Amino acid sequence: MGTQGGITVRRALELPGLRDGLPEVVACGEALDRTVRWVHAGEAPNIASLLKGGELLLTTGLALGSRPAEQRAFVRRLADRGIAALVVELGARFDRLPPALVDAARTAGLPLVQLHREVPFVSVTEEIHTEIVNGHYALLRQAEEVHRRCTEALLGGGGVERVLRILAEFAGNPVFLETAEGRLLYAAAPGQDPAAADPLEVWTGLRGRRAARAAGPPAGAVLVDVAGGGHGTGAVRARLVIPAVAAGPLPVHRLAAERAAGLLAVVLMQARQEEELAARGRGDFLTDLAEGRIRAEDAPARARVLGFRPGDGPLLPVVMRLGQGGTAGRESGAGLPTAGSGALPAGVLLEELASVGVPVLLGVRPVEGRVPVLLGLRSEAERTAVADRVAAALRAGVARAGLERPGAPPPVVVVGVAGGWAAAGASLRHAAETAAAARGLPDRAWYDARRLDIDLLLWRLREHPDLAAFVDRAIGPLRAHDRSARPALLPTLETYLAHAGRKAETARELHLNRQTLYNRLGRISELLGTDLDDPQTVLALSLALRARRHTPGA
């Protein structure tokens, strides 16, 4: 049987149909191990255009032409088409194949066979096709046997590693399971040969070559997607890779990998669901802690059950809130901010947070669009450095999961106040509320909850009618002006106050000359009926500009 699910030219010549024709190989006998994908018989001069490659072509030679140039062209076109071999039956056209035909076949590397006795082409075709079909069936049986072994391994508790090892032994090559982004999850090598290459070294080399080419699987490798577990229809959870290390993978290895991929999709989906449930449980614990439903003396034991062992250093709360396309946060019955959102990718976030280097307790609150996190620090001194790493990891996880929506605000990451278990609940709640209050602020890698207390106070007053009335009294005329006239004056006032009234710096940031800025500031004072040099006026305007993010018409 052939190695590609067909049969070889050599095997076809050994079958009774062609063997009865007394076949003689006259060119490229060294290439008889080519795979015959199908058999075709015909006498048309342009028969090459009807072929797809891999065929064994049967002919009596009537269409080969009488001139050497025609014969060479005929063979050349067949070789370009990639057929497996050309078989010519002598008698009807030739007693012996012409030298030009033989030379052309040798030059093109095309096996050429002459039959000295007449044979029924239909019988030859049926016989070879039956052999090919039987070969495909044999490959399917091999792949199904591997699938059965993999299934038994999983049912017996063998896990992903055992499935990959079975596949590696069958393929005779290392097998890797990667994330869709190319990160290695599992690796397995065939057998226990001490001389075999370390699969991790193989994968590192393959990754380097793939990075150099910028895309695509390694040459000659089998690459099969493991579907499911992603965030969207047809999402790819991971990929199986069988590289050509010991030998090139065969179609039967691809068949086996495709069947194994189906099993792995179920395993990874189950693992993801278990992780999502666990993450929701951790999210419930952190929310209960923030809401005061867990006593500080009971919290450490509850956290240990969830796998969080922070040590004796301070605890650092962090809250990420997903952006929402301009909809203001609501307030849950428990008093924590909410924001409609889809499922949060706990597994992806945990993978990213693994590089932070400190104990991490991550939860998710999918309905609220929040990710509360508690981290164990060695000392207060590392708060900023850890916050930088955590914020980068959380944002990278959101990007990997495809949760960033076009036009929606970026995720907000707020870092709370570090302290012990007694203060952890209140600090978590403070960070969660501050994450809602930070909506609309200039985007930063992370916000320090200690520096947003004014914004948090204004956010808590967002539904009080006095806040909207205060904003309208303070900057209402500028709002009305900017809706109907240009240039807009609110941005000028914001920049001016942000620079503490320093006109030179304000003009530079707005790319204005001094006189234009003076004219705008004069117009602002005129519309508001206030003096921009008065400290009480500056304070009121600063508060109003901050509060307008939380009031209608902002």
**Residues 247 and 303 reside in one and the same domain:** no
User: Same domain, yes or no, for 431 and 516?
Assistant: no
Q: How many structural domains does the chain have?
A: 4
**Mean per-residue pLDDT of the chain:** 83
| Nearest to 130, CA basis, from 11, 21, 29 | 11
- Asked whether residue 215 is assigned to any structural domain, the reply reads yes
- Give residue-wise pLDDT tens across range 391-442: 999 998 888 877 776 667 789 999 999 999 999 999 999 999 999 899 888 8
Answer yes or no: is 26 within a domain: yes
Query: Of 460, 483, 499, which residue sits at a domain end?
Result: 460
Rounded Cα distance between 394 and 378, Å, is 21
pLDDT in the model for residue 342: 37
* 31 and 126 share one domain: yes
Query: Do residues 166 and 249 both lie within one domain?
Result: yes
In DSSP notation, 169-207 reads HHHTS-EEEEETTS-EEEEE-STT-TTSPPHHHHHHHHH
The band of 232, judged by pLDDT with boundaries at 50, 70 and 90, is very low
Instruction: Please check the confidence at residue 69 and state whether its pLDDT lies above 70.
Output: yes
Q: Where does the pLDDT of residue 210 fall: very low under 50, low under 70, confident under 90, or very high at 90 and above?
A: low
Confidence tier at 268 by pLDDT (50, 70, 90):
confident
User: 79-130, pLDDT tens digit by residue?
Assistant: 999 999 999 999 888 889 999 999 999 999 999 999 999 999 999 999 888 8
Same domain as 426, residue 391:
yes
The answer to whether residues 326 and 392 belong to one domain is yes
CB neighbour list of residue 522: distance below 8 Å, 6 or more residues apart: none
126 belongs to a structural domain? yes
How many C-beta neighbours within 10 Å does residue 126 have?
A: 13
Residue 528 pLDDT level (bands cut at 50, 70, 90):
very high
Is pLDDT of 216 > 60? no
- The pLDDT, as a whole number, for residue 203 is 63
Residue 151, domain member (yes or no): no
Q: Is residue 37 part of a domain?
A: yes
Residue 509 shares a structural domain with residue 412 = no
Residues 330 and 421 occupy one common structural domain: yes
72 and 128 together in one domain: yes
* 227 pLDDT higher than 60: yes
Q: What is the pLDDT of residue 367?
A: 67
Q: Would you place residue 328 in the very low, low, confident or very high pLDDT band (cuts 50, 70, 90)?
A: very low
Residue 127, domain member (yes or no): yes
Q: What whole-number distance in Å separates Cα of residue 300 and Cα of residue 517?
A: 58
Q: 165: phi > 0 → left, psi -120 to 50 → alpha, else beta; which? A: alpha
pLDDT for res 380: 93
Of 410, 441, 460, the one marking the end of a domain is: 460
What is residue 235's predicted lDDT score, i.e. its pLDDT?
57
Q: How confident is the model at residue 524 (pLDDT cuts 50, 70, 90)?
A: very high
Percent with pLDDT over 90 in the chain:
42
Q: Are residues 376 and 313 in the same domain?
A: yes
Asked if 333 and 453 sit in the same domain, the reply is yes
Residues 221, 301 share a domain: no
Domain boundary among 418, 441, 460: 460
Q: What is the CATH number of the domain that holds 338?
A: 3.30.70
What number of other Cβ atoms are within 10 A of residue 553's Cβ? Answer: 10
Token digits of residue 124 = 């030859």
CATH number at residue 192: 3.30.450.30
- Enclosing domain of residue 22: 7-132
User: Is residue 147, in this structure, part of any structural domain at all?
Assistant: no
For the entire predicted model, the pTM comes to 0.53
Q: What is the mean pLDDT of residues 352-369?
A: 85
Q: Strand pairing of 175-179 and 184-188?
A: antiparallel
What is the layout of strands, in order, in the sheet containing 112-115? Answer: 23-27, 112-115, 85-89, 55-59, 38-41
Query: The domain that contains 544 carries what CATH number?
Result: 1.10.10.2840
CATH of residue 91's domain is 3.40.1390.20
Query: How confident is the model over 70-77, as a mean pLDDT?
Result: 93
pLDDT of 358 higher than 60: yes
Task: Say if 298 falls within a structural domain.
Answer: yes
Residue 206: what pLDDT? 63
